[in-house]
Amino acid sequence: MSSSPEKIIDALLQALEGAVLVCTAEGTILQADRTAQDWFGAGAAPGGSILDTLAHGEARTWFEHAQNEERDELPFSSMVVTNDGRWVEATLHPAEDDEVVLQLKTEMSSTDAAPVPHEVLRDLIETMREPLASVRAAAETMALYPSMDRAATTQFMSIVEEQTAALSDRLDAAVAAYARLYRRAGPLHPIHAGEFTTALAQHLDDNLSIDVSAQPMAEEVDARLLLDAQAITESLTFLANRIENAARCTALRVSVERVRSLAALDLSWEGGAVTSARIREWEQSTITWGDSIIKMTLAEILDHNDAQMIIQTDHGDSSIRLLLPISDDMSSR
C-alpha cells in the first residue's frame, strides 16, 4: 500500500535535520516545521514567500526561475545567506506535483561535520570538579560562620579568588581545544564566487559607516569557492573595520577574479595607506562570531581556509587580497 503525498511530506518534516519548509515551485510557503518557525518567525508563515527569507544563493535563484525548464534538477544543495545574515546549507528535495521541500542547516549542524570528541567535554568536567568543590566549601563555611574573624574571612576569600581563576583557566583551555578541533575538522563548503562577493559586500555595508560596493564579476570567474563562509566573512569584516579607522578611507570595494587555479578576493579602498607591518600585526588578533564559543586568530582562520593574504599598499588604491581555493569538482556552473 503506497503512502499518500501528505504522509510523505509529514515524514520529511519530522526526519530532516535543521529548518524544513514545504513550498511551491514559485516559493510560496505551505508548511514549516518548528525549527523554521523558531528561526524565521513570521517569515515562515504559510502563504508567505521564501524569497523574503533567502537573501542570496542558488536556492533562491531556483525559486526565482520557476518558469525555466533548464533550472537545476532536484535534489541539489548550495550555501545561501538568509535575510538575518545567517549562512546556511540549503537542500531542495522533490515532493509531489508543484511542491518542494526546502531544508536549511547551519554549517555546524551538518551531519558531514565531525562531532566534538567527548574527550573535550569530559576533560572540562573533570578539571572543573576540584576548583568548584573548593569554591563551594569556602562559601558554605563563610555562610555557617558569618561572624568569623577578619583573618579567616581573608583566607577564605583568597581561596574563592584562586579557585575562580582556576575555573577561568580551565574554561579557556576547553575553548582552545574546541578551536583546535574546529580548525582540524570544521566544514568548508563550495559557494558561488559572485554570490559570496555580493553577500559579503552587503554585510560590510551593513556593518561599516562608509560606502561598500561589489564589483561585477567577469564571466571567467564563474566558479565556486571552497571556504568557511561565516569565518571568512567575519575576518574580512574585522579587517574592514580596522582599515576604516586606520586609513580614514571613504569607500571600500569588494571584487573577485581568477588567478590560475585560485580565486583572488580583493578588499580595496580609497584613502590613506596602511603599512604591511601593521596589517600583519592584525593577523594575531582574536576573532569571534555570532554566539559561537570559537575564538581563533585571523592567521588561524586563514590557515583553516587554505587562504593566503597579500597586501598591496604602494599606490593610490590600496588593497588586501585573499587567495582562496576553488572547489575541484564544482569549478564551473
Burial of 302 (0-12, 13-18, 19+ CB in 10 A): buried
Q: Are 107 and 20 in contact (CB under 8 A)?
A: no
CA–CA dist 319, 197 (Å, integer): 15
Give the pLDDT confidence score for residue 298 in this predicted structure: 92
Three-class secondary structure of residue 148 per DSSP: coil
Whether residue 204 is predicted with pLDDT greater than 80 in this model: the reply is yes
Q: What is the mean pLDDT of the chain?
A: 78
CA–CA dist 275, 192 (Å, integer): 32
Could you report the per-residue pLDDT of 56-100, keeping only the tens digit for each?
777 788 887 765 655 667 777 777 777 776 778 888 887 777 788
Three-class secondary structure of residue 55 per DSSP: strand
211-214 and 251-259 strand pairing: parallel
Which residue type sits at 90? A
Whether residue 12 is predicted with pLDDT greater than 70 in this model: the reply is no
Which residue type sits at 94? P
User: How many CB atoms lie under 10 A from the CB of residue 12?
Assistant: 17
With pLDDT > 70 as the criterion, what percentage of the chain qualifies? 76
Contacts for 90-93: CB closer than 8 Å, 24+ residues apart: 90/54, 90/57, 90/58, 90/59, 92/59, 92/62, 93/12, 93/16
Calculate the CA 263 to chain-centre distance.
20
Which helix (H) or strand (E) segment is 64 a member of?
helix 58-64
Calculate the CA 82 to chain-centre distance.
12
The residue behind cell 518557525 is 37
Which of 42-46, 51-55, 327-331 is predicted most confidently? 42-46
Could you report the per-residue pLDDT of 283-307, keeping only the tens digit for each?
999 887 665 667 788 998 898 888 9
Q: Are 134 and 159 in contact (CB under 8 A)?
A: yes
CA–CA dist 293, 308 (Å, integer): 25
Give the pLDDT confidence score for residue 95 in this predicted structure: 74
CA–CA dist 127, 149 (Å, integer): 32
> What phi and psi, each to the nearest 5 degrees, are found at residue 90?
-105, 130
- In the chain the domains, ranked by start, together with CATH numbers, are 5-109 (3.30.450.20), 118-185 (1.10.287.130), 189-330 (3.30.565.10)
User: How many CB atoms lie under 10 A from the CB of residue 84?
Assistant: 11
Could you report the per-residue pLDDT of 108-160, keeping only the tens digit for each?
443 344 444 556 666 667 777 777 888 888 888 888 888 888 888 888 788 88
CA–CA dist 58, 64 (Å, integer): 10
